[in-house]
């Protein structure tokens, strides 16, 4: 494990806060950024220069390696303000573990836990006034790590920079989503980097997603690379179905991102003694369940949306309409429970909330 020599964080505060410019009742997603950002440098095999400074542009050489060969990984989590006015992060230690899984696969250095957590803690604490208390809103936290060598040969960078920026945001989707089963393009393949939050995974998905959007869908439902039969993920969310009262989700592996929301939803389902299956599920099985009227629910899970109900699935020129959202027992219950845990309205029995202030 790499250690941080010095996690004393140098703090340079912004001369004026921009928080009064934010309309907390009309937040969009990912467009506004809080007053400060965190960064730390990896050089000569160790981490140092941890600092918090005003959010702003970064001078960067055009030869910066991340821009050319994609040694660029990220994380996403949210900070919430609970009913007592406390600011808490949802399961940030899981994001720390996952960024290091991503780092290993991308031949990047791991980030010491103290550095990751201290950076997060001090940044979110300093910008605590940016954490919305409005229902459904939160402060989205985006840690990311990039290769910073000024070198355009293809090899792992020797130097890296780790950043954290934050952005207040409202609900990600305002309506249930319509998804299109993708029969040609793929998101991930065995042996690839589908399980990694690597920037390139998202760039490559934009073109097929745009084609689906031009046909009136919000997102793609990705299928397996070999046969395009097994469902994998939808957009940047894990996929879940409720068929005959059983919660079914594709199993983790090379091609599936191990979502923290996914894990949280499965944990709650098991707490509630619901039958849970992590197994391959084909589009044929979904269509069949739809015909038999046993496909009760379909939804995506992810930090941005938490639970995104799927209202319609397009496949081979036909649209399959799913039951009305209010009739969906499990996904509504689990969305409410996660909200209640974050707002401090029910006991946090799994210790998911990490208090900042
Ligand atoms: C981030 C992400 C998810 C969801 O992960 P969470 O930890 O729940 O936010 C799912 N799929 C992909 C491809 C992702 O990038």
Residues 220-245 have a mean pLDDT of 97
* Contact residues of ligand 1, CB 6 A cut-off: 76, 197, 233, 236-238, 257, 259-262, 301-303
> Which residue owns the Cα nearest ligand 1 atom 6?
259
Q: Which of 173, 201, 235, 257 to mutate to test the pocket of ligand 1 (most atoms within 8 A of CB)?
A: 257
Q: How far is the CA of 6 from the centre of ligand 1 (A)?
A: 31
Of the listed ranges 66-75, 96-105, 123-132, 163-172, the least confidently predicted one is 163-172
Q: Is it true that 2-169 and 177-342 share their CATH fold? A: no
2-169 CATH fold = D-amino Acid Aminotransferase; Chain A, domain 1 (3.30.470)
- Could you tell me the fold of the domain covering 177-342? D-amino Acid Aminotransferase; Chain A, domain 2 (3.20.10)
- What pLDDT is stored for residue 174 in this prediction? 75
Q: What is the pLDDT at residue 6? A: 56
Secondary structure, 3-state, the chain: CCCECCCCCEECCCCCCCHHHCCCCCCCCCCCCCCEEEEEEEECCEEEEEEEEECCCCCCCCCEHHHHHCCEEECCEEEEECCCCCEEEECHHHHHHHHHHHHHHCCCCCCCHHHHHHHHHHHHHHCHHHCCCCCCCEEEEEEEEEECCECCCCCCCCCEEEEEEEEEECCCCCCCEEEEECCCCCCCCCCCCCCCCEHHHHHCCHHHHHHHHHCCCCEEEEECCCCCCEEEEECCEEEEEEECCEEEECCCECCECCCHHHHHHHHHHHHCCCEEEECCCEHHHHHHHHHCCCEEEEEEEECCCEEEEEEEEEECCEEEECCCHHHCHHHHHHHHHHHHHHHCCCCCCCCCEEECC
Extents of the domains making up the chain: 2-169, 177-342
Give the pLDDT band of residue 1 (cuts 50, 70, 90).
very low
Which region among 167-176, 209-218, 311-320, 343-352 has the lowest average model confidence (pLDDT)?
167-176
| Tens digits of residue pLDDT in 259-293 | 999 999 999 999 999 999 999 999 999 999 999 99
100-110 per-position pLDDT tens digit: 999 999 999 99
């Amino acid at each position: 494990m790499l250690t941080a020599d010095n996690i004393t964080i140098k703090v340079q505060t912004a001369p004026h806060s921009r928080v009064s410019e934010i309309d907390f009742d009309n937040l969009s997603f990912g467009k506004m950024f809080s007053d400060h950002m965190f960064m730390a440098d990896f050089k000569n095999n160790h981490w140092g220069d941890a600092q918090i400074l005003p959010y702003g542009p970064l001078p960067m050489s055009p030869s910066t390696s991340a821009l050319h060969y994609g040694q660029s990984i990220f994380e996403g989590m949210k900070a919430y303000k609970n009913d007592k006015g406390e600011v808490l992060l949802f399961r940030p230690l899981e994001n720390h573990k996952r960024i290091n899984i991503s780092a290993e696969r991308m031949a990047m250095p791991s980030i010491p836990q103290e550095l990751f957590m201290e950076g997060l803690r001090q940044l979110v604490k300093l910008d605590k006034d940016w954490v919305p208390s409005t229902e459904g809103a939160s402060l989205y936290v985006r840690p990311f790590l990039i290769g910073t060598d000024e070198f355009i040969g293809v090899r792992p960078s020797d130097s890296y920079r780790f950043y954290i920026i934050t952005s207040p945001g409202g609900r990600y989707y305002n309506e249930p989503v319509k998804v299109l089963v993708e029969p040609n393009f793929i998101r991930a393949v065995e042996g690839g980097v589908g399980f990694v939050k690597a920037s390139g995974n998202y760039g490559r998905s934009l073109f097929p997603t745009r084609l689906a959007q031009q046909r009136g869908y919000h997102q793609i439902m990705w299928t397996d690379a070999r046969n395009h039969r097994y469902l994998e993920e939808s957009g940047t969310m894990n996929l879940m179905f409720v068929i005959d009262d059983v919660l079914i989700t594709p199993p983790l592996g090379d091609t599936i991102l191990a979502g923290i929301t996914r894990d949280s939803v499965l944990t709650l389902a098991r707490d509630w003694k619901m039958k849970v299956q992590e197994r391959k599920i084909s589009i044929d099985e979904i269509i069949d369940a739809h015909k038999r009227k046993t496909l009760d629910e379909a939804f995506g899970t992810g930090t941005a949306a938490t639970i995104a109900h799927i209202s319609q699935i397009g496949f081979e020129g036909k649209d399959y309409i799913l039951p009305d959202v209010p009739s969906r027992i499990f996904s509504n219950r689990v969305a409410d429970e996660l909200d209640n845990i974050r707002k401090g309205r029910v006991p946090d029995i799994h210790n998911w909330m990490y208090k900042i202030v």
